[in-house]
Structure formats: C-alpha cells, structure tokens
C-alpha cells in the first residue's frame, strides 16, 4: 500500500468522479466535498462506475444498475454480488491521494 496522487481537487467537482488509469483502475468520487476512492470497475461486468449515478454515498452502475456503498464498497443490489475495493483518501494541498 502506498499513497498515490490521483488528481487535483479541481478535477473532481461535487457530484462527479475522476478515474485514475492504473491496473486496476481507481475512481475518486466527490460527494458534497467528501472524497471516496474505490475500484473503478463494477464487479458484475467491466463497466466503469465513474460513469455511474451518485445518490448520497452510493453509486449506481450505468450498465445494469447495481448499487454500491462508496464508504464500505458493499454491493447493495443485484446483479452485482461482490463488493468493490475501497481505499483511504486524503487531501494534501490541491491534490487528492489514495492509499492504493
């Protein structure tokens, strides 16, 4: 595990997500100024959750609408059965870091 710079704060406005193109990809979500980092790929199929719909602290996959908790990674609805990885996040200066 290592703190990795993901993006600038300005690159992920409230209600949006930023994808870091690493293997596996990581998404940072901004929920009203609180940042969450998770695996970017849905555990059902290979759809990017960064393109999903945010609702509170959950994201809904745009492909088949499985929902995940961004705080715990837990899959909240089918067709996803497995949780997504979550990562600790910290903001330092104007950048967002995740413990990957």
Binding site for ligand FES (CB under 6 A): 42, 44-45, 47, 61, 63-64, 66, 79-80
- Judged by beta carbon, residue 11 or residue 57, the one nearer ligand FES is 57
**36, two tokens:** 């969450």
Return the sign of the alpha-carbon dihedral for residues 65, 77, 30, 20.
negative
- Judged by beta carbon, residue 17 or residue 80, the one nearer ligand FES is 80
17-20: strand order across its sheet? 17-20, 26-31, 34-39, 86-87
- Judged by beta carbon, residue 4 or residue 48, the one nearer ligand FES is 48
């Amino acid at each position: 595990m290592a703190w990795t710079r993901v993006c600038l704060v300005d690159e992920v406005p409230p209600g949006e997500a930023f994808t870091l193109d690493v293997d596996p990809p990581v998404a940072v979500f901004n929920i009203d100024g609180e940042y969450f980092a998770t695996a970017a790929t849905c555990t059902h199929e290979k759809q990017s959750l960064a393109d999903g719909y945010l609702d509170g602290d959950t994201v809904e996959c745009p492909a088949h609408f499985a929902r995940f908790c961004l705080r715990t990674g837990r899959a909240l609805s089918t067709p996803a059965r497995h949780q997504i990885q979550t990562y600790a996040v910290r903001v330092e200066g104007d950048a967002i870091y995740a413990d990957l």
